[in-house]
A and B are shown apart, each in its own frame.
Chain A
Amino acid sequence: MIDRSPLPDPIIDVRGLHYGVEGRKIFDGVDITVERGSITAVMGPSGTGKTTLLRLITGQSVPSAGSVKVFGEDIGGYGRQGLLALRRRMGMLFQNGALLTDLDVFENVAFPVRQHTKLPEPLLRRLVLMKLEAVGLRGAAKLMPQELSGGMARRVALARAIVMDPEILIYDEPFVGLDPISMGMVCRLIRELNDALGITSIVVSHDVQEVGTIADRSYLLAGGKVVASGNAEQLQATHDPAVRQFMDGLPDGPVPFHYPAGDYRSQLLDAGDLK
Protein backbone atom coordinates (compact mmCIF):
# COMPACT_ATOMS: atom_id res chain seq x y z
CA MET A 1 0.00 0.00 0.00
CA ILE A 2 1.56 3.30 -1.03
CA ASP A 3 0.12 6.51 0.34
CA ARG A 4 0.30 9.05 -2.49
CA SER A 5 -1.46 11.95 -0.83
CA PRO A 6 0.24 15.28 -1.67
CA LEU A 7 2.64 16.70 0.91
CA PRO A 8 3.19 20.39 1.55
CA ASP A 9 6.57 22.12 1.11
CA PRO A 10 8.97 19.24 0.37
CA ILE A 11 12.53 19.96 1.49
CA ILE A 12 13.78 16.77 -0.16
CA ASP A 13 12.02 15.38 -3.20
CA VAL A 14 13.17 12.13 -4.78
CA ARG A 15 11.41 11.25 -8.06
CA GLY A 16 11.79 8.13 -10.21
CA LEU A 17 15.18 7.33 -8.71
CA HIS A 18 17.18 4.61 -10.45
CA TYR A 19 20.61 3.57 -9.23
CA GLY A 20 22.84 0.55 -9.65
CA VAL A 21 26.37 -0.57 -8.80
CA GLU A 22 28.38 -2.93 -11.03
CA GLY A 23 25.28 -4.10 -12.87
CA ARG A 24 23.32 -4.72 -9.66
CA LYS A 25 20.13 -2.68 -9.51
CA ILE A 26 19.64 -1.01 -6.11
CA PHE A 27 16.82 1.47 -6.83
CA ASP A 28 14.24 0.94 -9.52
CA GLY A 29 11.99 3.98 -9.54
CA VAL A 30 11.88 5.26 -5.94
CA ASP A 31 9.73 8.28 -4.98
CA ILE A 32 10.24 9.84 -1.55
CA THR A 33 9.11 13.21 -0.26
CA VAL A 34 10.37 14.76 2.96
CA GLU A 35 8.37 17.69 4.21
CA ARG A 36 9.89 20.56 6.14
CA GLY A 37 9.97 20.14 9.91
CA SER A 38 8.99 16.47 9.86
CA ILE A 39 10.73 13.28 10.91
CA THR A 40 10.77 10.90 7.98
CA ALA A 41 11.87 7.32 8.42
CA VAL A 42 13.31 5.18 5.66
CA MET A 43 13.08 1.53 6.67
CA GLY A 44 13.81 -1.75 5.02
CA PRO A 45 15.72 -5.00 5.43
CA SER A 46 19.53 -4.95 5.39
CA GLY A 47 20.99 -4.50 1.94
CA THR A 48 18.03 -2.63 0.45
CA GLY A 49 20.14 0.47 -0.13
CA LYS A 50 19.05 2.68 2.76
CA THR A 51 22.55 4.07 3.31
CA THR A 52 22.97 4.38 -0.47
CA LEU A 53 19.85 6.56 -0.51
CA LEU A 54 21.54 8.88 2.00
CA ARG A 55 24.64 9.03 -0.19
CA LEU A 56 22.44 10.07 -3.10
CA ILE A 57 20.64 12.72 -1.04
CA THR A 58 23.93 14.19 0.19
CA GLY A 59 25.49 14.20 -3.27
CA GLN A 60 28.14 11.56 -2.54
CA SER A 61 26.74 9.41 -5.35
CA VAL A 62 24.98 10.32 -8.59
CA PRO A 63 21.71 8.63 -9.66
CA SER A 64 21.57 6.73 -12.98
CA ALA A 65 18.12 8.22 -13.70
CA GLY A 66 15.49 10.28 -11.92
CA SER A 67 15.94 13.34 -9.78
CA VAL A 68 16.96 14.09 -6.19
CA LYS A 69 15.94 17.62 -5.26
CA VAL A 70 17.20 19.17 -2.05
CA PHE A 71 15.94 22.64 -1.09
CA GLY A 72 14.14 22.68 -4.46
CA GLU A 73 17.26 22.20 -6.60
CA ASP A 74 18.50 19.03 -8.26
CA ILE A 75 21.52 17.67 -6.38
CA GLY A 76 23.39 17.20 -9.70
CA GLY A 77 23.16 20.92 -10.40
CA TYR A 78 24.92 22.07 -7.23
CA GLY A 79 28.52 21.62 -8.44
CA ARG A 80 31.48 21.12 -6.11
CA GLN A 81 31.28 24.45 -4.30
CA GLY A 82 27.49 24.27 -4.22
CA LEU A 83 27.64 20.83 -2.61
CA LEU A 84 30.01 22.10 0.08
CA ALA A 85 27.61 24.98 0.79
CA LEU A 86 24.67 22.55 0.80
CA ARG A 87 26.39 20.26 3.29
CA ARG A 88 26.81 23.16 5.70
CA ARG A 89 23.02 23.22 5.84
CA MET A 90 22.93 19.50 6.64
CA GLY A 91 24.07 17.46 9.60
CA MET A 92 24.66 13.74 9.52
CA LEU A 93 24.90 11.15 12.24
CA PHE A 94 26.85 8.09 11.16
CA GLN A 95 26.19 4.51 12.22
CA ASN A 96 29.29 4.38 14.45
CA GLY A 97 29.44 8.08 15.26
CA ALA A 98 32.55 8.61 13.08
CA LEU A 99 34.16 10.83 15.72
CA LEU A 100 37.66 12.04 14.91
CA THR A 101 39.79 9.79 17.08
CA ASP A 102 42.67 12.25 17.56
CA LEU A 103 40.41 14.92 19.10
CA ASP A 104 38.61 14.93 22.45
CA VAL A 105 34.84 15.27 22.78
CA PHE A 106 34.94 19.07 23.03
CA GLU A 107 37.18 19.46 19.98
CA ASN A 108 35.09 16.98 17.98
CA VAL A 109 32.00 19.12 18.51
CA ALA A 110 33.98 22.33 17.91
CA PHE A 111 35.56 20.91 14.71
CA PRO A 112 33.00 22.11 12.11
CA VAL A 113 32.75 25.52 13.78
CA ARG A 114 36.53 25.98 13.77
CA GLN A 115 36.66 24.93 10.12
CA HIS A 116 33.95 27.25 8.85
CA THR A 117 33.91 30.27 11.17
CA LYS A 118 36.26 32.52 13.07
CA LEU A 119 34.12 32.49 16.19
CA PRO A 120 35.96 33.97 19.21
CA GLU A 121 37.14 31.26 21.60
CA PRO A 122 34.87 32.22 24.57
CA LEU A 123 31.80 32.16 22.30
CA LEU A 124 32.85 28.86 20.73
CA ARG A 125 33.32 27.38 24.20
CA ARG A 126 29.80 28.39 25.23
CA LEU A 127 28.30 27.10 21.99
CA VAL A 128 29.98 23.69 22.29
CA LEU A 129 29.05 23.37 25.97
CA MET A 130 25.42 24.19 25.14
CA LYS A 131 25.30 21.50 22.46
CA LEU A 132 26.95 18.98 24.79
CA GLU A 133 24.46 19.90 27.50
CA ALA A 134 21.63 19.26 25.02
CA VAL A 135 22.82 15.67 24.59
CA GLY A 136 23.64 15.30 28.30
CA LEU A 137 27.41 14.99 27.91
CA ARG A 138 28.77 18.34 29.11
CA GLY A 139 30.67 16.42 31.78
CA ALA A 140 32.42 14.28 29.15
CA ALA A 141 33.93 17.24 27.28
CA LYS A 142 37.54 16.25 27.95
CA LEU A 143 37.17 12.52 27.29
CA MET A 144 38.68 10.96 24.17
CA PRO A 145 36.40 9.04 21.75
CA GLN A 146 38.05 5.74 22.82
CA GLU A 147 36.78 6.33 26.38
CA LEU A 148 33.12 6.62 25.34
CA SER A 149 30.48 3.90 25.19
CA GLY A 150 28.63 3.33 21.90
CA GLY A 151 25.63 5.36 23.06
CA MET A 152 27.78 8.22 24.31
CA ALA A 153 29.75 8.34 21.04
CA ARG A 154 26.46 8.50 19.14
CA ARG A 155 25.30 11.41 21.32
CA VAL A 156 28.58 13.31 20.88
CA ALA A 157 28.23 12.82 17.12
CA LEU A 158 24.70 14.20 17.43
CA ALA A 159 26.01 17.29 19.24
CA ARG A 160 28.56 17.71 16.44
CA ALA A 161 25.86 17.29 13.80
CA ILE A 162 23.73 20.10 15.29
CA VAL A 163 26.52 22.50 16.22
CA MET A 164 26.24 24.40 12.91
CA ASP A 165 22.43 24.61 13.29
CA PRO A 166 21.60 22.54 10.19
CA GLU A 167 18.21 22.62 8.48
CA ILE A 168 18.29 18.91 7.68
CA LEU A 169 19.58 16.25 10.03
CA ILE A 170 20.26 12.79 8.63
CA TYR A 171 20.54 9.75 10.90
CA ASP A 172 22.14 6.61 9.46
CA GLU A 173 21.06 3.64 11.60
CA PRO A 174 21.16 5.62 14.86
CA PHE A 175 19.99 2.67 17.02
CA VAL A 176 22.39 -0.05 15.88
CA GLY A 177 24.29 -1.69 18.74
CA LEU A 178 22.74 0.44 21.49
CA ASP A 179 21.44 -0.85 24.81
CA PRO A 180 17.76 -0.06 25.58
CA ILE A 181 18.62 2.95 27.76
CA SER A 182 20.86 4.55 25.13
CA MET A 183 18.31 3.70 22.46
CA GLY A 184 15.59 5.51 24.42
CA MET A 185 17.90 8.51 24.90
CA VAL A 186 18.74 8.76 21.21
CA CYS A 187 15.05 8.34 20.30
CA ARG A 188 14.03 11.15 22.64
CA LEU A 189 16.86 13.38 21.39
CA ILE A 190 15.83 12.94 17.76
CA ARG A 191 12.26 14.01 18.55
CA GLU A 192 13.25 16.85 20.89
CA LEU A 193 15.93 18.30 18.62
CA ASN A 194 13.59 18.12 15.67
CA ASP A 195 10.85 20.02 17.49
CA ALA A 196 13.01 22.46 19.46
CA LEU A 197 15.33 23.46 16.59
CA GLY A 198 12.79 23.22 13.76
CA ILE A 199 15.01 20.73 11.92
CA THR A 200 13.85 18.33 9.24
CA SER A 201 15.01 14.82 10.12
CA ILE A 202 15.54 11.71 8.03
CA VAL A 203 16.08 8.51 9.98
CA VAL A 204 17.34 5.45 8.19
CA SER A 205 16.78 2.38 10.30
CA HIS A 206 15.37 -1.12 10.49
CA ASP A 207 14.21 -0.81 14.08
CA VAL A 208 10.44 -0.77 13.49
CA GLN A 209 9.39 -0.14 17.08
CA GLU A 210 11.76 2.73 17.83
CA VAL A 211 11.25 4.49 14.53
CA GLY A 212 7.47 4.04 14.76
CA THR A 213 7.34 6.06 17.97
CA ILE A 214 9.06 9.15 16.55
CA ALA A 215 8.49 9.23 12.76
CA ASP A 216 5.76 11.39 11.23
CA ARG A 217 5.97 9.40 8.03
CA SER A 218 7.79 6.21 7.10
CA TYR A 219 8.83 4.70 3.80
CA LEU A 220 9.48 1.00 3.53
CA LEU A 221 11.97 -0.02 0.85
CA ALA A 222 12.20 -3.53 -0.60
CA GLY A 223 13.44 -4.85 -3.93
CA GLY A 224 14.55 -1.41 -5.07
CA LYS A 225 11.11 0.16 -4.65
CA VAL A 226 9.00 1.84 -1.99
CA VAL A 227 6.55 -0.91 -1.02
CA ALA A 228 4.68 1.10 1.61
CA SER A 229 4.55 4.57 3.09
CA GLY A 230 2.55 6.44 5.69
CA ASN A 231 2.47 6.90 9.44
CA ALA A 232 2.94 4.06 11.94
CA GLU A 233 -0.79 3.12 12.04
CA GLN A 234 -1.05 3.02 8.25
CA LEU A 235 1.97 0.75 7.99
CA GLN A 236 0.64 -1.54 10.73
CA ALA A 237 -2.67 -1.83 8.85
CA THR A 238 -0.96 -3.00 5.66
CA HIS A 239 -1.57 -6.55 4.44
CA ASP A 240 1.15 -6.65 1.80
CA PRO A 241 3.26 -9.80 2.55
CA ALA A 242 6.59 -7.97 2.12
CA VAL A 243 5.49 -5.26 4.53
CA ARG A 244 4.05 -7.75 7.03
CA GLN A 245 7.23 -9.84 7.02
CA PHE A 246 9.30 -6.77 7.86
CA MET A 247 6.91 -5.24 10.39
CA ASP A 248 6.35 -8.56 12.20
CA GLY A 249 9.96 -9.70 11.94
CA LEU A 250 9.10 -13.01 10.22
CA PRO A 251 12.18 -15.11 9.33
CA ASP A 252 10.77 -16.34 6.01
CA GLY A 253 8.56 -14.74 3.39
CA PRO A 254 9.08 -12.58 0.31
CA VAL A 255 12.62 -12.05 1.66
CA PRO A 256 13.64 -15.75 1.81
CA PHE A 257 15.47 -17.31 4.76
CA HIS A 258 17.62 -19.37 2.38
CA TYR A 259 20.12 -17.79 0.06
CA PRO A 260 19.50 -19.20 -3.46
CA ALA A 261 21.22 -22.59 -3.73
CA GLY A 262 21.20 -25.79 -5.80
CA ASP A 263 19.30 -28.98 -4.91
CA TYR A 264 19.94 -29.88 -1.24
CA ARG A 265 19.81 -33.68 -1.64
CA SER A 266 22.09 -33.85 -4.65
CA GLN A 267 24.53 -31.42 -3.04
CA LEU A 268 24.74 -33.59 0.10
CA LEU A 269 25.31 -36.78 -1.91
CA ASP A 270 27.58 -35.24 -4.52
CA ALA A 271 31.19 -34.57 -3.48
CA GLY A 272 31.66 -31.98 -6.25
CA ASP A 273 32.19 -28.24 -5.93
CA LEU A 274 29.64 -26.11 -4.08
CA LYS A 275 27.89 -23.93 -6.63
Chain B
Amino acid sequence: MRPVKESIARIGSVALFQLSILRALGPALARPRLIVNQVYNCGARSLVIIMLCGLFVGMVLGLQGYQLLARFGSESALGVAATLGLLKELGPVVTALLFAGRAGTALTSEIGLMRATDQLTAMQMMAVDPIRHVVAPRFIGGVIAMPLLVAVFNIVGIFGSQLVGVTILGVDQGTFWSQMQNAVELKDVNEGIVKSVAFGVICSLLAVFEGYHTEPTAEGVGLSTTRTVVASSVMTLLVDYMLTAAFLNY
Protein backbone atom coordinates (compact mmCIF):
# COMPACT_ATOMS: atom_id res chain seq x y z
CA MET B 1 0.00 0.00 0.00
CA ARG B 2 2.82 2.38 0.88
CA PRO B 3 4.28 2.70 -2.66
CA VAL B 4 0.77 3.31 -4.01
CA LYS B 5 0.17 6.06 -1.45
CA GLU B 6 3.55 7.61 -2.20
CA SER B 7 2.86 7.54 -5.95
CA ILE B 8 -0.51 9.23 -5.47
CA ALA B 9 1.09 11.84 -3.20
CA ARG B 10 3.76 12.45 -5.82
CA ILE B 11 1.21 12.93 -8.59
CA GLY B 12 -0.59 15.39 -6.31
CA SER B 13 2.66 17.28 -5.68
CA VAL B 14 3.39 17.49 -9.42
CA ALA B 15 -0.14 18.81 -10.06
CA LEU B 16 0.21 21.46 -7.34
CA PHE B 17 3.62 22.40 -8.68
CA GLN B 18 2.12 22.79 -12.15
CA LEU B 19 -0.51 25.12 -10.66
CA SER B 20 2.16 27.26 -9.01
CA ILE B 21 3.98 27.47 -12.37
CA LEU B 22 0.76 28.49 -14.11
CA ARG B 23 0.31 31.26 -11.54
CA ALA B 24 3.83 32.48 -12.31
CA LEU B 25 3.38 32.35 -16.11
CA GLY B 26 2.25 35.97 -16.48
CA PRO B 27 5.20 37.54 -14.61
CA ALA B 28 7.60 35.10 -16.31
CA LEU B 29 6.30 36.04 -19.77
CA ALA B 30 6.88 39.69 -18.88
CA ARG B 31 10.62 38.92 -18.88
CA PRO B 32 11.05 37.42 -22.36
CA ARG B 33 14.85 37.52 -22.19
CA LEU B 34 14.86 34.76 -19.56
CA ILE B 35 12.60 32.62 -21.77
CA VAL B 36 14.69 33.21 -24.90
CA ASN B 37 17.76 32.07 -22.94
CA GLN B 38 15.98 28.88 -21.94
CA VAL B 39 14.71 28.16 -25.48
CA TYR B 40 18.36 28.45 -26.49
CA ASN B 41 19.50 26.17 -23.64
CA CYS B 42 16.84 23.50 -24.19
CA GLY B 43 16.42 23.86 -27.95
CA ALA B 44 19.51 25.13 -29.72
CA ARG B 45 21.87 23.10 -27.56
CA SER B 46 19.92 19.91 -28.37
CA LEU B 47 19.91 20.55 -32.11
CA VAL B 48 22.93 18.45 -33.07
CA ILE B 49 21.76 15.32 -31.26
CA ILE B 50 18.21 15.78 -32.59
CA MET B 51 19.42 16.19 -36.17
CA LEU B 52 21.77 13.23 -35.97
CA CYS B 53 19.12 10.95 -34.49
CA GLY B 54 16.50 12.25 -36.93
CA LEU B 55 18.77 11.37 -39.84
CA PHE B 56 19.42 7.83 -38.57
CA VAL B 57 15.77 7.16 -37.74
CA GLY B 58 14.76 8.41 -41.20
CA MET B 59 17.39 6.21 -42.86
CA VAL B 60 16.21 3.14 -40.93
CA LEU B 61 12.62 3.95 -41.91
CA GLY B 62 13.75 4.14 -45.53
CA LEU B 63 15.38 0.72 -45.34
CA GLN B 64 12.69 -1.09 -43.37
CA GLY B 65 9.85 0.63 -45.22
CA TYR B 66 11.33 -0.28 -48.57
CA GLN B 67 11.77 -3.95 -47.56
CA LEU B 68 8.19 -4.17 -46.30
CA LEU B 69 6.56 -2.28 -49.17
CA ALA B 70 8.57 -4.16 -51.79
CA ARG B 71 6.83 -7.39 -50.69
CA PHE B 72 3.56 -5.91 -51.95
CA GLY B 73 5.11 -4.10 -54.90
CA SER B 74 4.32 -0.73 -53.34
CA GLU B 75 7.81 0.78 -52.99
CA SER B 76 6.46 3.98 -54.44
CA ALA B 77 4.51 4.54 -51.22
CA LEU B 78 7.78 4.79 -49.24
CA GLY B 79 7.57 8.58 -48.99
CA VAL B 80 4.08 8.45 -47.51
CA ALA B 81 4.90 5.66 -45.07
CA ALA B 82 8.07 7.27 -43.78
CA THR B 83 6.53 10.75 -43.49
CA LEU B 84 3.38 9.60 -41.70
CA GLY B 85 5.43 7.46 -39.34
CA LEU B 86 7.65 10.39 -38.53
CA LEU B 87 4.96 13.07 -38.28
CA LYS B 88 2.49 11.13 -36.17
CA GLU B 89 4.69 8.90 -34.00
CA LEU B 90 8.43 8.69 -34.29
CA GLY B 91 9.12 12.42 -34.52
CA PRO B 92 7.36 13.50 -31.31
CA VAL B 93 8.16 10.33 -29.32
CA VAL B 94 11.85 9.96 -30.15
CA THR B 95 12.42 13.72 -29.80
CA ALA B 96 10.72 13.66 -26.39
CA LEU B 97 12.90 10.74 -25.25
CA LEU B 98 16.04 12.54 -26.46
CA PHE B 99 14.84 15.79 -24.89
CA ALA B 100 14.38 14.03 -21.54
CA GLY B 101 17.91 12.66 -21.73
CA ARG B 102 19.61 15.83 -22.96
CA ALA B 103 17.66 18.96 -21.90
CA GLY B 104 15.58 17.38 -19.10
CA THR B 105 18.59 16.12 -17.17
CA ALA B 106 20.35 19.46 -17.66
CA LEU B 107 17.33 21.31 -16.25
CA THR B 108 17.04 18.98 -13.26
CA SER B 109 20.70 19.06 -12.34
CA GLU B 110 20.93 22.84 -12.80
CA ILE B 111 17.95 23.58 -10.55
CA GLY B 112 19.00 20.80 -8.16
CA LEU B 113 22.46 22.30 -7.78
CA MET B 114 20.88 25.71 -7.21
CA ARG B 115 18.91 24.09 -4.40
CA ALA B 116 22.00 22.36 -2.99
CA THR B 117 24.02 25.59 -2.99
CA ASP B 118 21.26 27.66 -1.33
CA GLN B 119 20.71 29.81 -4.42
CA LEU B 120 16.95 29.19 -4.33
CA THR B 121 16.76 30.01 -0.62
CA ALA B 122 18.87 33.12 -1.24
CA MET B 123 16.31 34.23 -3.83
CA GLN B 124 13.49 33.69 -1.37
CA MET B 125 15.41 35.76 1.17
CA MET B 126 15.72 38.52 -1.44
CA ALA B 127 11.91 38.40 -1.75
CA VAL B 128 12.26 36.90 -5.26
CA ASP B 129 10.01 33.93 -6.02
CA PRO B 130 12.22 31.12 -7.46
CA ILE B 131 9.19 29.60 -9.21
CA ARG B 132 8.72 32.86 -11.09
CA HIS B 133 12.37 33.55 -11.77
CA VAL B 134 13.93 30.10 -12.20
CA VAL B 135 11.26 27.45 -12.74
CA ALA B 136 8.64 29.13 -14.95
CA PRO B 137 11.07 30.44 -17.63
CA ARG B 138 12.68 27.00 -17.90
CA PHE B 139 9.29 25.32 -18.16
CA ILE B 140 8.09 27.73 -20.86
CA GLY B 141 11.42 27.44 -22.68
CA GLY B 142 11.08 23.63 -22.77
CA VAL B 143 7.47 23.76 -23.97
CA ILE B 144 8.41 26.15 -26.80
CA ALA B 145 11.56 24.23 -27.76
CA MET B 146 9.95 20.78 -28.06
CA PRO B 147 7.67 21.39 -31.12
CA LEU B 148 10.54 23.21 -32.84
CA LEU B 149 12.87 20.27 -32.19
CA VAL B 150 10.20 17.84 -33.42
CA ALA B 151 9.87 19.86 -36.64
CA VAL B 152 13.65 19.71 -37.18
CA PHE B 153 13.67 15.96 -36.37
CA ASN B 154 10.89 15.34 -38.92
CA ILE B 155 12.53 17.36 -41.68
CA VAL B 156 15.90 15.65 -41.24
CA GLY B 157 14.14 12.27 -40.87
CA ILE B 158 12.28 12.70 -44.16
CA PHE B 159 15.55 13.68 -45.81
CA GLY B 160 17.16 10.51 -44.34
CA SER B 161 14.42 8.23 -45.70
CA GLN B 162 14.69 9.96 -49.07
CA LEU B 163 18.44 9.50 -49.02
CA VAL B 164 18.14 5.75 -48.54
CA GLY B 165 14.93 5.17 -50.52
CA VAL B 166 15.64 7.33 -53.56
CA THR B 167 19.41 7.73 -53.72
CA ILE B 168 20.46 4.24 -52.63
CA LEU B 169 17.51 1.92 -53.25
CA GLY B 170 16.28 3.58 -56.43
CA VAL B 171 12.69 4.62 -55.65
CA ASP B 172 11.55 7.23 -58.16
CA GLN B 173 12.17 10.74 -56.85
CA GLY B 174 8.97 12.21 -58.34
CA THR B 175 6.79 9.39 -56.98
CA PHE B 176 8.38 9.64 -53.54
CA TRP B 177 7.49 13.33 -53.14
CA SER B 178 4.19 13.48 -55.08
CA GLN B 179 2.63 10.54 -53.21
CA MET B 180 3.69 12.16 -49.95
CA GLN B 181 2.12 15.44 -51.04
CA ASN B 182 -1.15 13.73 -51.97
CA ALA B 183 -1.51 11.49 -48.92
CA VAL B 184 -0.30 13.61 -46.01
CA GLU B 185 -3.04 15.89 -44.68
CA LEU B 186 -3.03 18.80 -42.31
CA LYS B 187 -4.64 16.70 -39.58
CA ASP B 188 -1.59 14.40 -39.63
CA VAL B 189 0.65 17.39 -39.05
CA ASN B 190 -1.68 18.66 -36.32
CA GLU B 191 -1.56 15.30 -34.55
CA GLY B 192 2.21 15.59 -34.38
CA ILE B 193 2.03 19.17 -33.14
CA VAL B 194 -0.46 18.30 -30.38
CA LYS B 195 1.72 15.39 -29.28
CA SER B 196 4.90 17.46 -29.31
CA VAL B 197 3.33 20.17 -27.16
CA ALA B 198 1.96 17.55 -24.74
CA PHE B 199 5.38 15.88 -24.48
CA GLY B 200 7.00 19.30 -24.06
CA VAL B 201 4.76 19.99 -21.07
CA ILE B 202 5.40 16.53 -19.56
CA CYS B 203 9.18 16.48 -19.99
CA SER B 204 9.72 20.10 -18.92
CA LEU B 205 7.36 19.84 -15.94
CA LEU B 206 8.94 16.65 -14.62
CA ALA B 207 12.45 18.04 -15.11
CA VAL B 208 11.81 21.27 -13.20
CA PHE B 209 9.77 19.45 -10.53
CA GLU B 210 12.54 16.96 -9.83
CA GLY B 211 15.17 19.72 -9.79
CA TYR B 212 13.19 21.96 -7.46
CA HIS B 213 12.51 19.11 -5.02
CA THR B 214 16.03 17.70 -5.06
CA GLU B 215 17.50 16.60 -1.78
CA PRO B 216 20.40 19.06 -1.39
CA THR B 217 23.22 16.50 -1.61
CA ALA B 218 25.37 15.12 -4.45
CA GLU B 219 23.47 11.84 -4.24
CA GLY B 220 20.15 13.70 -4.22
CA VAL B 221 20.94 15.56 -7.44
CA GLY B 222 21.96 12.28 -9.11
CA LEU B 223 18.76 10.53 -8.02
CA SER B 224 16.58 13.40 -9.23
CA THR B 225 18.28 13.42 -12.61
CA THR B 226 17.69 9.68 -13.00
CA ARG B 227 14.05 10.05 -11.95
CA THR B 228 13.58 12.79 -14.57
CA VAL B 229 14.67 10.50 -17.42
CA VAL B 230 12.71 7.49 -16.20
CA ALA B 231 9.49 9.35 -15.38
CA SER B 232 9.59 11.48 -18.56
CA SER B 233 10.16 8.44 -20.78
CA VAL B 234 7.39 6.37 -19.20
CA MET B 235 4.91 9.25 -19.18
CA THR B 236 5.74 10.17 -22.78
CA LEU B 237 4.99 6.64 -24.00
CA LEU B 238 1.84 6.38 -21.87
CA VAL B 239 0.45 9.72 -23.04
CA ASP B 240 1.43 8.85 -26.62
CA TYR B 241 -0.79 5.79 -26.47
CA MET B 242 -3.66 7.80 -24.98
CA LEU B 243 -3.39 10.58 -27.57
CA THR B 244 -3.08 8.12 -30.46
CA ALA B 245 -6.19 6.30 -29.24
CA ALA B 246 -8.01 9.64 -28.96
CA PHE B 247 -6.99 10.72 -32.48
CA LEU B 248 -8.12 7.38 -33.90
CA ASN B 249 -11.44 7.74 -32.03
CA TYR B 250 -11.04 4.56 -29.98
Contact = CB atoms under 8 A, between A and B. Distances in A.
Interface in B73-126: 113-114, 117-119, 121-126
B124 A60 contact: yes
B121 A111 contact: no
Contacts of B129: 84
A115 B128 contact: yes
Interface stretch (A67-75, A88-96, A176-184, A265-273): A88-96
Nearest to B113: A101
A152 to B, nearest CB: 16
B1 interface: no
A100 interface: yes
Contacts of A101: 113-114, 117, 119
A60 B126 CA distance: 12
Interface string B123-141: 1111111000100000000
Contacts of A58: 125
Interface residues of A, number: 22
Contact of A98 (B117, B128, B133): B117
A138 interface: no
A202 to B, nearest CB: 13
Interface in A94-112: 94-96, 98-101, 111-112
A92 B128 contact: no
Contacts of B117: 96, 98, 101
Nearest to B122: A98
B126 A112 contact: yes
A87 B126 contact: yes
A87 B124 CA distance: 8
A96 B114 CA distance: 12
A92 B127 CA distance: 11
